A and B are shown apart, each in its own frame.
Chain A
Amino acid sequence: MTKEPVSIEPLGDRAILLRFGQKPDQDCFERIRCFERALERTGIPGFIESAPAYTTLAVYFDPERVKGFQMEQSLLNVLQNVESLSDAYLVGNDLTNFRETAVEVPVCYDTEFGPDLDFVAHTHGMTCREVVAIHSSEVYFVHMIGFLPGFPYLGGLSDRIATPRKESPRLVVAAGSVGIAGNQTGVYPIASPGGWQIIGRSPMQLFDKTKNPPCKIRAGDGIRFVEVNRIEFETLCYERTDSR
């Protein structure tokens, strides 16, 4: 299989962007992950952190320790090493079974928590129960975390319930809210303004600043939404505050 060549471009004076492809498929994701592992092992001086997105990876560095062009050369070297052996490396990668290791995220689809559930159902000529059944039956792949601390960008939403964003965003979307925007679905880890169609709420704490890593869900994980009723929701919320 021939791979798309990786393109490298500056992201300002303190970061470099590597593009591994055009489509956010599994192959692209695995190439990014392999590269990141190699990057961590290499330990380039001046390297601060790297952050993956759908098809790209940003590498942030300290310009007082390494110049941009030196960093670029180091990245190219790492890239060459990785790409020459990655086919063998990929075999047996733990990524392919994200379905089996999926994190279960409890969601209460009560209308109080999901004010847009009716709208989504109406748009597709379904009942609310059908929307919930479809939404909670898939296993979603976490492409990336971005926008807010711990906000997962999930792939795999069924076309049958894909719904465009709200025309005017809400000023406050409560923490834990589960939403749909186009063919994406996601969970708001913290309260925020937002334009997604909100269909439910999760009692799970996705972002915990006292933990390291602070996010329960990370890029490459699988997520399954599990429906809970109102009583279970309250119990889970209570347990969460109790365990603190």
Chain B
Amino acid sequence: MTLEIVRAGMFTTIQDLGRFGYRRDGVVTSGAMDPFAWRVANQLVGNPSHERLEDKRSDDKNQAALEFFLVGPTVAFHQRTAIAIYGGDWNVKLNGKPIRCGRPYLVEPGQQIDVKEATVGCWGYMAIHGGVQVPAVLGSRSTHVRSGLGGLNGLPLTVGDKIPSKHPTSFTLGWPKHRTCFVPWNVNVFHDCPVPSSRPIRFLPGTHWNHLDGPSQKEFLSVEWLISGRSDRMGYRLEQPPPAQPTKQPGLRLSGPFEMLSEPTAIGTIQLPPSGEPIVLTADSATTGGYPRIGHVVDGDLSRLVQQRPGSAIRFQAVSREESNQLQIDSQKQLRRLKGMLAYQTRRR
């Protein structure tokens, strides 16, 4: 046992990249809300991050990290290990001394990491060298609270929980003496991470985009949407600010009566329930849905969307399939570049 939760934080769960291969059985993918940040955090502590998703089914490659929302946990360590925090920017202390996000640190037995509030973004990751070693359920350690899968008994972490992690390896044993941190740099949370920005969230119009009536299509593209406080790991609910003209019904309308059978969904799908206020599906969303799909947030912008806090405003911009493809390639390149750089830097110490 190497980790003990001293203070729980908000929605602190164990997550990897998700549970694949069981959507046909209704099992949701789960996994990190912001997979980009998750990958960076793991890369920082020398954990392999998976180029190939299907390889993940083998146990030892399936590293898991702690995920938290807005307020992080306090974790006590009973064994020497390396950690890194990434995903937005957080107020973090190692035994009372402030440390930076996006950097690997050595933690000695008896020391505590105290993750306080987020100063940028809202989903954070604490990667631990070797990953946390809870048993994999259906090929993944990701916690899905609703079905009680993964994590520690399928539950969010609470005070007193003890989590096993790997024994020290060359990565921590060969750490320079008397240094908690061996690198003079950190991954810039503003430049290298797609944290909140005023750029619109790009989306691919979905199967039922043309079922929206003309004014609603225009409205979706022009209005500032607020991220509702009822958003969670299942979906980001979008609201409109109180209308300027009180006569107008808020929300988007379909051009005619609409009836559909339940169909598969994907992470990033923008659904339109009868209320007229869209929901962007995220990590824990159900595998199928019976609401019209007006669009899909492009892969490259999903991290940026989930790092927007409840209450913040976003805009949408429609892109073509070609553009969305290009954005995907760009974000893959960015991640590869970062990975290459980190692998080089962490080897060099």
Instruction: List residues of chain A with CB under 8 Å of any chain B CB.
Output: 9-15, 17, 24, 48-58, 60, 62-65, 67-69, 144-151, 153, 189-190, 192, 207, 209, 212-215, 218-219
Contact = CB atoms under 8 A, between A and B. Distances in A.
Given A51-B264, A64-B51, A214-B138, A13 B299 contact: yes
A25 to B, nearest CB: 12
Nearest to B205: A10
B246 interface: no
Contacts of A55: 261, 263
B332 interface: yes
Given A13-B299, A51-B287, A149-B26, 6 more contacts: A53-B261, A57-B264, A64-B332, A146-B264, A146-B287, A147-B288
19 contacts: A13-B298, A17-B263, A48-B53, A49-B24, A50-B24, A54-B261, A57-B264, A64-B52, A64-B53, A65-B53, A147-B26, A148-B286, A149-B26, A149-B28, A207-B147, A209-B149, A213-B22, A214-B25, A215-B25
A238 to B, nearest CB: 21
A153 B27 CA distance: 14
Contacts of B268: 12-14
Contacts of B54: 48, 62
Contacts of A207: 25, 147
B222 interface: no
A62 B29 CA distance: 14
A62 B53 contact: yes
B346 interface: no
B237 interface: no
A144 B262 contact: yes
A146 B263 CA distance: 9
Interface in B10-36: 20-28
B21 A13 contact: no
Nearest to A65: B52
Interface residues of B, number: 43
Given A64-B332, A209-B138, A11 B296 contact: yes
Interface string B283-297: 000111000010011
A190 B266 contact: no
Contacts of B287: 51, 146-147
A13 B262 contact: no
Contact of A10 (B27, B28, B146, B204): B204
B147 A218 contact: no
B274 to A, nearest CB: 13
B21 A14 contact: no
Given A58-B264, A64-B51, A147-B288, A13 B328 contact: yes
B267 interface: yes
Residue of B263, B264, B268, B332 with most chain A CB atoms under a 10 A cut-off: B264
Contacts of B324: 13
B267 A48 contact: no
Nearest to B207: A9
B197 interface: no
A189 B27 CA distance: 12
A117 B59 CA distance: 46
Given A209-B149, A214-B25, A54 B262 contact: yes
